[in-house]
């Protein structure tokens, strides 16, 4: 199908974007990579009056390292994240996730900020941000605020972003000494949305895990920090027994939503298997 | 804030200027305004890859980008790549390996394969399949297409 009629504007500055958002609110949509917005327009699932194209705003671009924190601009394309030596070195969890994000042509356009702001529950990057304790910088004419990833995602396509706010960048702690990451997902076809996926990040000393952070995606209406499963591994040496404890605890963290792609029970089973394998890999990597 | 916008871009090496409707996507622009019907529309929501075109050196879904967003861009379609001779060996390999039946997906396959070849190295079959995973073929399956791309990699980059 063809998109409905709308007006289009390509502001030259961030300030102008924020003015337009303040003026038009919910009537406007931000056009970043467009890889999720355009399908909804083509299928007429959304009919905004105005598209605000932010693609040429330099302040939203780039990936850089500043004082142990990686700044990922909202307009950083998936392909940039995939190819970035800085991401590979300092955000290995995201580096491991990127090959699973969509397909080449979509990665060439799709943006980091778009994926976060859309908050698709089966997307990889929101869950990576939760596991890594990222923070998002939101801007509006009212000012800027920083929101932790764990409190940013409210539900299915629902986030902390107000109508007049733009996600400007993410600030993600760079990999610290002694930490490791592990990422796994299960999808029917490479690059499709996952039926279940897991992000693990922890400090590992010998075999002992600490500061364990497990986040699941593809199971519920939002990325889920798996607090009970993380606690089950905390301070313990990785073993078959601990693995079983983590898998059991995951049942308390997750209440998966079943649909025709996979039942709730299947998704929980997949999440458990993936969590066990991801932690196995992390423990073995040293 | 307009519903119609003037754009100027380069398509297959030729400068083009037009007034476009904001809602028109890039492939409708290429097909309907410029008569370049080599880029196909399959699903029109970013799943099938039949509309793959090259914008500023990288393949994109032509149905998921507005024509107005291509203002100032360098766009290449299968017509331009074909005329340039740059993918002649790839096209020959597709024919030799029977890598198409109806041909609907072929322009998108060729564009994606061309980007794969730009990496300048041989890839494993698994890598080729992963790279092609965003392009659907509903006739032959993918085996012959992977064969054709593998053959060209072998010829270009050695055994």
Chain-chain contact of A108 with B59 (C-beta, under 8 angstroms): yes
Q: What is the pLDDT of residue A262?
A: 93
The Cα of A192 is separated from the nearest Cα of chain B by a number of Å equal to 9
The predicted pLDDT at position A255 comes to 95
Residues A65 and A169 both lie in one domain = yes
CATH number of B144's domain: 1.10.150.120
Alpha-carbon span B72 to B14, nearest angstrom: 12
Of B48, B78, B108, at which residue does a domain stop? Answer: B78
Same domain flag for B63 and B101:
no
Is residue A88 in some structural domain? yes
Is A2 within the bounds of a domain? no
Is there a single domain that holds both residue B30 and residue B93?
A: no
Interfacial B residues in 27-86 facing A (CB < 8 Å): 28, 44-46, 49, 52, 58-61, 63-66, 68-69
Percent helix, strand, coil in chain B (nearest 5)? 40, 20, 40
Q: Report yes or no on A238 lying in a domain.
A: yes
The pLDDT, as a whole number, for residue A286 is 61
Residue A146 and residue A234 in one domain: no
Question: Is residue A162 in a domain?
Answer: yes
Q: Are B18 and B5 spatial neighbours (Cβ–Cβ below 8 Å)? A: no
Query: Is B69 in contact with A34 (Cβ distance < 8 A)?
Result: yes
Q: What is the CATH number of the domain that holds A37?
A: 3.30.43.10
B103 with B61, same domain: the answer is no
How many Cβ pairs within 8 Å bridge chains A and B? 97
End of a domain among B53, B78, B103?
B78
- Domain with B102, as residue range(s), is 85-157
State whether B94 and B51 are in the same domain.
no
Instruction: Assess contact for A209 and A235: CB atoms under 8 A.
Output: yes
Strands (E), chain B: 4-11, 14-21, 52-55, 58-61, 74-76
Domain count within chain A: 3
Contact across the interface for A190 and B28, Cβ inside 8 Å? no
Tell me which residues of chain A have a pLDDT lower than 50: none
Residue B141 sits in the same domain as residue B93 = yes
Find which of B2, B22, B107 to mutate to test the A interface (most A CBs within 10 Å of its CB): B22
By three-state DSSP, how is residue A20 classified? helix
Q: Is B47 helix (H, G, I), strand (E, B) or coil?
A: coil
Is A156 a member of any domain? yes
| Cα–Cα distance for residue pair A117/A161, rounded to 1 Å | 8
B129 and B71 share one domain? no
What pLDDT score does A191 carry? 75
Q: Kindly report the nearest CA distance between residue B112 and chain A, in angstroms.
A: 8
| A41 inside 8 A of chain B by CB | yes
What is the C-alpha separation between A153 and A134, in angstroms, rounded?
12
Measure Cα distances from A224 to A115, A213, A275, A280 in Å: 16, 11, 13, 21
User: If you ran DSSP here, which 8-state letter would residue A131 be given?
Assistant: H
pLDDT tens digits, one per residue of B38-81: 999 999 999 999 999 999 999 999 999 999 999 999 999 999 99
E-assigned strand segments in A174-263: 179-186, 196-205, 208-217, 224-225
φ/ψ of B41, rounded to 5, equals: -110, 120
Axis-axis angle for helices B143-157, B106-117 (nearest 10): 30
Residue among B50, B3, B51 at smallest CA distance from B26: B51
Per-residue pLDDT of chain B (159 residues; tens, 9 = 90+): 789 999 999 999 999 999 999 999 999 999 999 999 999 999 999 999 999 999 999 999 999 999 999 999 999 999 999 999 999 999 999 999 999 999 999 999 999 999 999 999 999 999 999 999 999 999 988 999 999 999 999 999 986
Residue from A153, A121, A131 nearest A225 by CA: A131
Interface of B with A in 131-150 (CB under 8 A): 131, 133-135
Q: Mark whether B8 and B72 lie in a shared domain.
A: yes
How many CB atoms sit inside 10 A of residue B88's CB? Answer: 11
The CATH code of the domain that includes B36 is 3.10.20.30
Q: Which residues contact B158 (CB under 8 A, 6 or more apart)?
A: B122
Are A161 and A66 in the same domain? yes
Residue range of the domain that includes A125: 60-173
What's residue A190's pLDDT? 77
Measured CA to CA, the distance from residue A164 to residue A24 in angstroms comes to 8
Same domain, B54 and B90: no
| Residues B69 and B98 both lie in one domain | no
User: A100 and A157: one domain?
Assistant: yes
The CATH number for A251's domain is: 3.30.390.50
Looking at the complex, report in whole angstroms how far the Cα of residue A245 sits from the nearest Cα belonging to chain B: 35
């Amino acid at each position: 199908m063809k998109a409905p009629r709308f007006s289009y504007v390509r502001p030259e500055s961030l300030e102008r974007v924020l003015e337009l958002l303040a003026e038009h609110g919910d009537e406007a949509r931000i056009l970043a990579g467009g890889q999720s917005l355009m399908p909804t327009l083509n299928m007429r699932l959304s009919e905004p009056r105005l598209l605000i194209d932010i693609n040429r705003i330099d302040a939203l671009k780039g990936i850089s390292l500043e004082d142990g924190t990686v700044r990922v601009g909202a307009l950083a394309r998936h392909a940039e994240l995939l190819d970035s030596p800085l991401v590979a070195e300092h955000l290995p969890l995201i580096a491991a996730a990127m090959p699973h994000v969509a397909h080449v042509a979509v990665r060439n356009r799709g943006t980091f900020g778009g994926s976060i702001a859309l908050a698709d529950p089966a997307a990889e990057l929101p869950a990576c941000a939760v596991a890594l304790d990222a923070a998002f910088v939101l801007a509006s004419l009212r000012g800027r605020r920083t929101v932790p990833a764990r409190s940013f995602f409210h539900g299915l396509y629902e986030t902390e972003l107000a109508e007049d706010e733009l996600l400007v960048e993410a600030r993600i702690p760079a990999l610290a000494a002694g930490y490791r990451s592990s990422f796994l997902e299960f999808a029917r076809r490479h690059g499709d949305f996952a039926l279940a996926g897991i992000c693990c990040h922890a400090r590992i000393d010998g075999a002992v895990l600490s500061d364990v952070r497990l986040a699941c995606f593809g199971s519920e209406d939002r990325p889920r920090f798996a607090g009970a499963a993380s606690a089950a591994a905390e301070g313990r040496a990785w073993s078959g027994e601990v693995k079983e404890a983590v898998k059991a605890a995951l049942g308390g963290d997750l209440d998966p939503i079943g649909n025709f792609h996979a039942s709730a029970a299947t998704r929980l089973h997949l999440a458990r298997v993936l969590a066990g394998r991801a932690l196995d890999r992390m423990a073995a990597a040293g | 804030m307009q519903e119609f916008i003037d754009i100027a871009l380069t398509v297959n090496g030729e400068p083009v200027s037009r007034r476009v409707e904001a809602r028109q996507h890039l492939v409708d622009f290429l097909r309907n305004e410029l008569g370049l019907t080599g880029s196909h529309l399959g699903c029109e929501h970013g799943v099938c890859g039949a509309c793959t075109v090259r914008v500023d050196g990288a393949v994109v879904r032509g149905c998921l980008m507005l024509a107005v967003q291509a203002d100032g861009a360098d766009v290449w379609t299968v017509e331009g790549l074909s005329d340039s001779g740059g993918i002649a060996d790839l096209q020959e390999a597709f024919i030799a390996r029977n890598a198409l039946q109806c041909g609907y997906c072929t322009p998108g396959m060729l564009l994606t394969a061309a980007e794969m070849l730009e990496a300048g190295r041989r890839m494993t079959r698994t890598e080729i399949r992963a790279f092609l995973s965003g392009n659907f073929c509903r006739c032959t399956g993918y085996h012959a297409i992977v064969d054709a791309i593998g053959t060209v990699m072998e010829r270009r980059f050695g055994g």
